[in-house]
Amino acid sequence: MALNEGPLIVQSDQTLLLEVGHPDSAECRAAIAPFAELERSPEHVHTYRVTPLALWNARAAGHDAEQVVDALLRWSRYPVPQALLVGVAETMDRYGRLILEVDPRHGLVLRSGDIAVLEEVLRAKTVAPLVGARIDASTVVVPGSERGRLKQALVKAGWPADDRAGYVDGASFPIEVAGPESFTLRSYQRHAVEAFSASGSGVVVLPCGSGKTLVGIAAMAEAGAHSLILVTNIVAARQWRDELLARTTLRADDVGEYSGERKDIRPVTIATYQILTSRRGGLYPHHEIFSAEDWGLIVYDEVHLLPAPVFRMTADIQSRRRLGLTATLVREDGREADVFSLIGPKRFDAPWRDIEAQGWIAPAVCTEVRVTLSDDERMAYALAEPEERYRVGATARSKLAVVERLCDLAVSHGEPTLVIGQYIDQLEELARRLDAPVLTGKTPTRQREVLYSQFRQGLIEVLVVSKVANFSIDLPEASVAIQVSGSFGSRQEEAQRLGRVLRPKADGRQARFFAVVSRDTNDQDFAARRQRFLAEQGYAYQISDAETVTWPA
């Protein structure tokens, strides 16, 4: 390809500008996605940034510096700055210059063939307290209890360690999949399991609806040991339990639930993040579950939501195999580096559009519906305090009639519909107007399960849900999602909400995602931020005016 034909402009500040309208933009996006993070996504030019963490994740996932450099050179419209290419190679080379491994005489050690690098990190104030005696010029003893915290400190110092110290097998407990009649791994699921099993720790990134749970089950079968599964809520715990009993030879009394409702530890135990983060007298009494059994594998479902207290406990269990499952490694708190160091690097990542092209998730049309506020609403927004302004715009009553019209269109097309929002009073008002049930964090678990079941059976056409339905909820029949308000600019939330409707449909029809946004407010600004991750995956939002919005073709 001639230099002046590519869709990419590579700049010396490590930003990449991708021309969206270029015929090769999709192929270019797929090539740079493993090592670049999307920052801004306006209509015509998307801005990516090459970051150290993205490069280290790419390296851990099997990409080398030569592949990254080749991608930049191939797709760039202009000559690539030499300093950037050198920087990419040097940054990726930092991963693995330090190695954690087990020495036959001294136990866990930190070793490097580059003595200067070892000297540099040992002099860092954050690293020095975490290591023991110096064995020789290239090796220092590491207390086993500091394995996780040392990896965190090394990432922050810019020298991520390659952890080759291995893992304990845990108590043996054979788990077998129930055979082809239950499920056969798809090729990408098999590759994900293989990539994880070869390393023993790390994160698998797959789109919502593409079968991350099956990857976790297959990894458990590979481990053949007592397994602890951490999930977002009780409903998700029971979905995991149902899948395990349906897909494996496990019996009901092999699987325990450790939650606010039950404290049952079995060879396979499913625990909720909520119970692990509950405190008593400033302590976390339920963290003892990490040492309650000789676990061979710990699975972190929706690892991008991992709470800080669970990070702290994970730092203490680095000898256990750890698998993180997620649709996006984006964390709004910026702790992606802690996922990298404590759970493990990204081992496998399948772009959403690739999985869609294979027919494993539904194609989706995304539409941003812009609502013009009434004069009274515009004045209320203008007079609101800055910290209240988003809520005023996001919950404007002018949105209600628009949501009603979209629901009427969806129902007339026979499309099971989720109305999703952030603010409970807004959702309750919508539920009354739509004559639909509403599900929030206050809804008892049993009632949630009944509502989900009725929706799956087609007894409910429209279900109004709060953010409790963002994650780990399996509603394959849902084909339309209408988002009326969100968590400010949360990219992960936007991805998860689209994910609620991405299960493939029996008749092959498209999924439809509507974001209803108040024009000329920060609701519109936050909507643009929320869309960034999906734009990175190749989804484009159609912009429609509320007065003229029609059903997408």
**pLDDT at position 99, please?**
96
**pLDDT at position 471, please?**
65
90 and 105 both lie in a single domain: no
C-beta of residue 404 within 8 angstroms of C-beta of residue 482: no
Higher pLDDT, 292 or 519: 519
Closest CA to 245 of 217, 264, 283: 217
Last residue of a domain, one of 62, 94, 126: 94
Average pLDDT taken over every residue of the chain? 90
386 and 508 both lie in a single domain: yes
Q: Is residue 408 part of a domain?
A: yes
Higher pLDDT, 18 or 349: 18
Higher pLDDT, 407 or 235: 407
Last residue of a domain, one of 355, 377, 403: 355
231 and 251 both lie in a single domain: yes
How many Cα atoms occupy the beta-carbon half-sphere of 455 within 13 Å?
A: 29
Using pLDDT thresholds of 50, 70 and 90, give the confidence band for residue 192: very high
- With left for phi above 0 and alpha for psi between -120 and 50, is residue 171 left, alpha or beta? beta
What phi, psi does 232 have (nearest 5°)? Answer: -80, -30
Q: Is residue 276 part of a domain?
A: yes
Distance CA 550, CA 553 (A): 9
Using pLDDT thresholds of 50, 70 and 90, give the confidence band for residue 489: low
pTM reported for the whole predicted model: 0.84
341 and 215 both lie in a single domain: yes
Range of the domain at 83: 3-94
Distance CA 494, CA 21 (A): 23
What phi, psi does 136 have (nearest 5°)? Answer: -155, -170
Q: Tell me the chain's radius of gyration from C-alpha atoms.
A: 24
- Grouping H, G, I as helix, E, B as strand and the rest as coil, residue 452 is helix
**pLDDT at position 1, please?**
44
- The answer to whether the Cα torsion of 47, 49, 54, 55 is positive or negative is positive
**pLDDT at position 285, please?**
86
pLDDT(3) > 60 = no
pLDDT(263) > 60 = yes
Last residue of a domain, one of 40, 63, 94: 94
Q: What is the mean pLDDT of residues 154-174?
A: 95
| Angle at which helices 522-530 and 491-499 cross, to 10° | 70
**Residue-wise pLDDT tens digits, 4-26:** 689 999 999 999 999 988 999 98
**Residue-wise pLDDT tens digits, 44-74:** 888 899 999 999 999 988 899 999 999 999 9
Tokens of 404: 């009603």
**pLDDT at position 472, please?**
59
88 and 102 both lie in a single domain: no
Angle, CA of 123, 129 and 130, to the nearest 5°: 100
Q: Is residue 176 part of a domain?
A: no
109 and 11 both lie in a single domain: no
**pLDDT at position 290, please?**
86
**pLDDT at position 2, please?**
46
Higher pLDDT, 183 or 57: 57
Q: How many domains does the chain have?
A: 4
Closest CA to 351 of 519, 539, 74: 539
**Residue-wise pLDDT tens digits, 305-317:** 888 888 888 999 9
416 and 346 both lie in a single domain: no
Q: What is the mean pLDDT of residues 386-394?
A: 91
Give the Å distances, CA to CA, from 206 to 233, 265, 326, 537. 20, 29, 6, 11
What phi, psi does 80 have (nearest 5°)? Answer: -80, 130
Higher pLDDT, 544 or 487: 544
**pLDDT at position 354, please?**
83
- Type and span of the H or E element at 354: helix 352-357
DSSP 521: S
pLDDT(462) > 60 = yes
Q: Is residue 389 part of a domain?
A: yes
- The answer to whether the Cα torsion of 340, 344, 348, 350 is positive or negative is negative
Using pLDDT thresholds of 50, 70 and 90, give the confidence band for residue 188: very high
Q: Is residue 552 part of a domain?
A: no
pLDDT(473) > 90 = no
339 and 245 both lie in a single domain: yes
254 and 218 both lie in a single domain: yes
**pLDDT at position 296, please?**
96
Domain CATH for 494: 3.40.50.300
**Residue-wise pLDDT tens digits, 416-425:** 999 999 999 9
62 and 136 both lie in a single domain: no
pLDDT(392) > 90 = yes
pLDDT(363) > 60 = yes
pLDDT(180) > 70 = no
Distance CA 528, CA 168 (A): 45
pLDDT(165) > 50 = yes
Task: Provide the residue count of the chain.
Answer: 553
19 and 89 both lie in a single domain: yes
493 and 461 both lie in a single domain: yes
Distance CA 255, CA 357 (A): 36
Q: Is residue 171 part of a domain?
A: no
Q: What is the mean pLDDT of residues 201-213?
A: 90
Q: Is residue 50 part of a domain?
A: yes
**pLDDT at position 4, please?**
61
Distance of CA 372 to the CA centre of its chain: 33
Q: Is residue 168 part of a domain?
A: no
**Residue-wise pLDDT tens digits, 132-155:** 999 999 999 999 999 999 999 999
**Residue-wise pLDDT tens digits, 510-540:** 889 999 999 999 999 888 888 877 877 777 7
